[in-house]
Amino acid sequence: MHIPVGIRSLAISLPSIIRTNDYYREKYPDIVAKAEDKNLAKFMSLANSTPSNEYELAMEPYLKDPFRGTVKRPILGPGESALTLEYRAAKDALAAGNFTINDIDLLIVSSFLPDQPGFGNAAFLARELGMQCPAWNLDASCASGPMALQTATALIQSGTYRNILVVISCTYSRLVDENDTLSWFFGDAAGAYVVGSLSHGQGLLASKAINTSFTCNQFSVKDTVNEEGKHRLRFVVARDTNKIIAENAPNMIKTCCEGAVAAAGLKLDDIDFFISTTPTAWFVDLCTHLLHIDPKRTINLYPECANIGGALTLFNLYHAAKMGKIRENDLVLLYGFGAASSSVAIVMRWGDVKVAD
């Protein structure tokens, strides 16, 4: 018997700085002029002179743009951190759903990266919020949003908890220098949602997840030393990453999305709206092509936020709901994948979800 559990309220939080492409054109004109010789273009380029697979075909229209489809990226400002974004998203999600701190009996947090080495942000956020309930960290990299939803739903369906607050943040900008073209591709954000009981037939219906071990050697965070002799953590992308993702993404997307829909006893045509992670400007185009989904039944906000990691699915879900593209009792297919982590699709029937302003 299906126990109706799912998202009850939803919020996002962006930092104070919105950096446009003009910022880089004005401050780094020489780098922009030579962008095709820099890190971003080396990462996002064709393996050969012409597209050789579906991923590269989806990418091809963006190759003439030195920013590869990014228009804006939210960036941490002075005094801001993963924790400050998480706190604001959490408070807004609670307020939107009219929840008090005492209504929440578990806090799950995913931070990439947390604000202190060695410890995730969960207990630190619980302290800021004044919570007494258990608080623990979950890491599924960019798939953390849907993976945490799957986890929280199962915990509530088991009867262990009643209401769970999930908070996801990503602060990539701390891991790249702004004179590195990879910085054009990254942003910062947080999202939060409360999971609890819904009306009959609503909530998470089915899911399908697999691991993404094929990406284990593609992304890394390394300790580097700058010109002043100071140690810094920096994000490193392997040269063959685009090729590896291009070869594996189609099967990954189809396995999870088709598997989740089948597990729910549905067909892809039954889905009212599709929400995907958007790590690149063309990723949704690839998904809709592979799954034969009408592009009108999805949303792609990558140009507005760049790659904000684990917050991507929540950012897209929030805006789709806010814009009225998702309504109560709609069937929603949610997809996300993370490097060196998992790929996951969830089918849910949307409830009376309260969306923060």
| Mean pLDDT along residues 326-331 | 99
Residue-level pLDDT at 201: 98
pTM for this prediction: 0.98
For the chain, what percent of residues have pLDDT higher than 90?
A: 97
For the chain, what percent of residues have pLDDT higher than 70?
A: 100
Using CA of residue 330, residue 191, residue 276, residue 58, what is the dihedral sign? positive
Contact yes or no for 342/210 (Cβ under 8 A): yes
d(CA 27, CA 327): 43
For 150-186, give one letter per residue: b (16+ CB within 10 A) or e: bbbbebbbeeebebbbbbbbbbbbbbbebebbbbbbb
d(CA 151, CA 149): 5
Per-residue pLDDT tens over the stretch 277-286 = 999 999 999 9
Per-residue pLDDT tens over the stretch 5-61 = 999 999 999 999 999 999 999 999 999 999 999 999 999 999 888 999 999 999 999
Task: Please identify which residue in the block is written with the tokens 């990453």.
Answer: 241
| Mean pLDDT along residues 209-217 | 98
C-alpha distances in Å from residue 255, one per residue of 154, 184, 290, 346: 22, 31, 11, 12
| Mean pLDDT along residues 74-91 | 99
Residue 228 pLDDT grade (very low, low, confident, very high; cuts 50, 70, 90)? confident
Per-residue pLDDT tens over the stretch 229-260 = 889 999 999 999 999 999 999 999 999 999 99
| Mean pLDDT along residues 321-327 | 98
Contact yes or no for 9/73 (Cβ under 8 A): no
Per-residue pLDDT tens over the stretch 109-131 = 999 999 998 999 999 999 999 99
d(CA 292, CA 90): 36
CB atoms within 10 A of CB 46: 17
Residue 355 pLDDT grade (very low, low, confident, very high; cuts 50, 70, 90)? very high
Per-residue pLDDT tens over the stretch 2-12 = 999 999 999 99
Residue 1 pLDDT grade (very low, low, confident, very high; cuts 50, 70, 90)? confident
Mean pLDDT of all residues belonging to the chain: 98
- Asked, as a colleague might, if the bond just before 333 is cis with ω within 30 of 0, I would say no
Question: What contacts 48, CB < 8 A, 6 or more positions away?
Answer: none
Residue 72 pLDDT grade (very low, low, confident, very high; cuts 50, 70, 90)? very high
Residue-level pLDDT at 6: 99
Residue 226 pLDDT grade (very low, low, confident, very high; cuts 50, 70, 90)? confident
Tokens of 332: 């929603």
Residue 330 pLDDT grade (very low, low, confident, very high; cuts 50, 70, 90)? very high
Q: Which CATH architecture has domain 203-355?
A: 3-Layer(aba) Sandwich (3.40)
Determine the residue type at 125.
Answer: L
For 302-311, give one letter per residue: b (16+ CB within 10 A) or e: bebbbbbbbb
Residue-level pLDDT at 227: 82
- Provide the CA 104 distance to its chain's centre, in angstroms: 23
Residue-level pLDDT at 235: 95
